[in-house]
Structure 1
Amino acid sequence: MGSTRQDPILHVGIIGCGEISQVAHIPNINFLAHRFRTTYLCDISQQSLRHCAQRVLGETPKSTASAEELCASPDVDVVLITNADAYPVEQGILALQNEKYCLIEKPASICLRYIDRLIEAEKISKGKVFVGTMRRFAAAFLDAVEDYRNQAHPQRFDDFSKQDSCDRANKEADIYEQAINDNVLFRYDNFPVVYESGLSDIPFFGAHIEVASPRKTVRVIFDNPYIKGLPVTLLIREKIGDGFQERKIRKTYEDPYTLELLDLYDFVVNGKTPKSGAEDAKKDLELFRMILQAGF
């Protein structure tokens, strides 16, 4: 009989034992014990280290207050960085200097200068950067992207005068300027996107992405990511003949954090290209700058 290939178990060192590690990462690593094992914890709080160590299934992980110690340890294959915004780039560079793959929670940085340092460090390392934009891994989101790709797009023509083009552009600029007073509006080649953000005391999680066309809208509804098993839902509304159809699809009850870890595994073990790397994180910052400029 031939031997059966056994997939390796990745040893994970977690830097930052706060909220997201306690609620999402450690429980999901426990759940995916056939792929991952938490072997090292790092935090400046001894209380959080003790608390998180008790939440790790199996052998008790090592603990330290030193990110350098964790990143250099042979007991760590992958470094998971969930620290405050001031530290992820420095700790990501430490992981890369030790030839380690790392997952950096979003945002990887809020400074373009810092993210450029991370990109440069990745170029000379055997390790790679995976940025934890977990909502991109939701099955409903992936289906929405595929659905939009499969829609028929009308052919565009340009046989009109420069004067007509300028007149239209001026009028649209005035309209969009009024819209931006309350929202941020991004103009892509063939569709607009409105971005709104805010907090309230209403106990309701209202995150969603919607793409609209004349005959169809596709909305991805993200429920609270801190409650395991809440589905990400795909809501499709479209015109069928002279009628209307609405479909609500829950493809899976696997939460985006779990799906993200599975993608991380493929990234480290099988060389899969990550959805979000350091270069992608830089584009996030450029998008934030657009939002701020529009606000001002």
Structure 2
Amino acid sequence: MTSAVLSEGAGNAPSSFILTLSCDDRPGIVHAVSGALVAAECNITESQQYGSPDTGTFFMRVAMTTSSPQAAVTAHLSPVAEAFGMTWNLHVAGTPARTLIMASKSAHCLNDLLFQQRAGMLPIEVPVIVSNHTELADLAAFYGVPFHHVPVTADGKATAESKLLELVAQYEIELVVLARYMQVLSDSLCSQLVGRAINIHHSFLPSFKGARPYHQAHARGVKLIGATAHYVTPALDEGPIIEQEVIRVDHARTAPQLVAMGADVESRTLAQAVKWHAEHRVLLDGTRTVVFN
């Protein structure tokens, strides 16, 4: 069982925190947590909870303000967490998640994330961009973000992934986003990034695999296109889903139009998933997610 204390509140100035937790579902959890927060002089501003009937696990997210330092809030919560066998974290609210973005040649998802971050619409900071190609270097330069070209070859995949992990450590990365990064990560790397790497792909899978999926879909006359954002796992494109979106199309749409519409929905879906993750609204429930949106 774990608890994460990220930083101290500044003196007696009011601070905002977010508590996330999971444990075996049983009576008294909400009462005990609320009591501990009251004892720590916290004002609860938002509270959401869910009991999974499939796994018997209870999930909770609580936002609060308090003049107490984070250490004091943690001290009040720790006995409750121990009594209920909780896995829990206490986060400083509003702290941007340090995010490494990976992309290959397609710019739409990367550009949307960087634009929303700069506009203050995404609670992330992006200290580095990694690509296995050089086409997106100018876009990174436009936003003033360091760009690292890490080529991936058949014989050099392990070296490339080792370099990626070095960058994750160097930049103290909390979240890795695969923004149309067209390389399959090794099982080992996926395991090391479990719960903190998000991928985006079109929603046609498993029907239209490989190259030019929108053209394949157009040839088959699909009526729905969309995107899926999920956590990265060793099972390719089968990780716990965070967000999905679909839009209707008809016979009059051309293949290039489907590509453009698909890029738009992919960008929106990925940005939403990143936002929810950065706001600590996503909790893992085995192969599923609980999203307190």
TM-score normalised by length of structure 2 = 0.41
Greater gyration radius: 1
Q: Which has the higher helix share?
A: 1
Q: Which has the higher strand share?
A: 2
